[in-house]
Every structure is written in C-alpha cells, then in structure tokens.
C-alpha cells in the first residue's frame, strides 16, 4: 500500500531524497499560479496520455488541489510496481520553503 503524507512533510522528502519526482496533477493554469519548486505539471485530466511514460525506477510524490486525484493516481500506479506517495489534502495548506508563486 502506498504512503499518504501531510503536505508539511514534503520538504523532508525534497531535502533528503535525490531521486524524488514531484508531480502536480492540477490544471496548467493552477500550476502557473503556484506550485512546489521542481514539480512537473502532469494534469490529471490528461492522465491517459502520460501515465504509461513514467519510468518505474523513480520515486514519485503526487499532489493535487485537495488530495482526491493524487490518491486515485497512486492507487492506479502502486499495484503496477511504482514507488508512489500521496499528499493528503493537496497543496492548499502548503506554506513551505519550496512554494513558487506565479
């Protein structure tokens, strides 16, 4: 079963894991307004076009606005052998040092 972490723990993963890949599942417009530094924008609505291109040798942290979409993506990928972490409740409560505002 994949891990679900509170948003404030994401800084720990960014600081301590060199192979972590942050995936922002929100719309491109939301991503441009704010995102976590280093995050790649792969919109949830376009999941069918990108989900099979993710390498399995990476460590992924998924986040969205409220946590529901990232949980669904993790539920899909974890049984396929991906190392995934879901951020509970999404990015809305993030006040960490890696916030980028557009």
Domain boundaries, the chain: 3-101
Q: List, for residues 31-68, the tens digit of each pLDDT value.
A: 999 999 999 999 999 999 999 899 999 999 999 999 99
| Closest to 35 in 3D by CA, of 93, 91, 73 | 91
Distance CA 83, CA 74 (A): 9
| Closest to 1 in 3D by CA, of 78, 82, 89, 63 | 78
Q: pTM to 2 decimals?
A: 0.95
The answer to whether domain 3-101 has CATH 3.40.250.10 is yes
Q: List, for residues 82-98, the tens digit of each pLDDT value.
A: 999 999 999 988 999 99
Active site annotation includes 74:
no
14, 22, 42, 64: the active-site residue: 64
């Amino acid at each position: 079963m994949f891990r679900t972490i509170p948003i404030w723990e994401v800084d720990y993963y960014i600081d301590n894991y060199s192979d972590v890949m942050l995936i922002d599942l929100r719309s491109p417009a939301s991503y441009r307004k704010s995102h976590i530094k280093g995050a790649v924008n792969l919109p949830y609505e376009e999941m069918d076009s990108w989900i099979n291109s993710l390498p399995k040798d990476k460590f992924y942290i998924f986040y969205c606005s409220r946590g529901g979409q990232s949980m669904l993506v993790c539920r899909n990928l974890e049984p396929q052998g991906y190392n995934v972490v879901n951020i509970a409740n999404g990015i809305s409560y993030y006040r960490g040092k890696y916030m980028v505002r557009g």
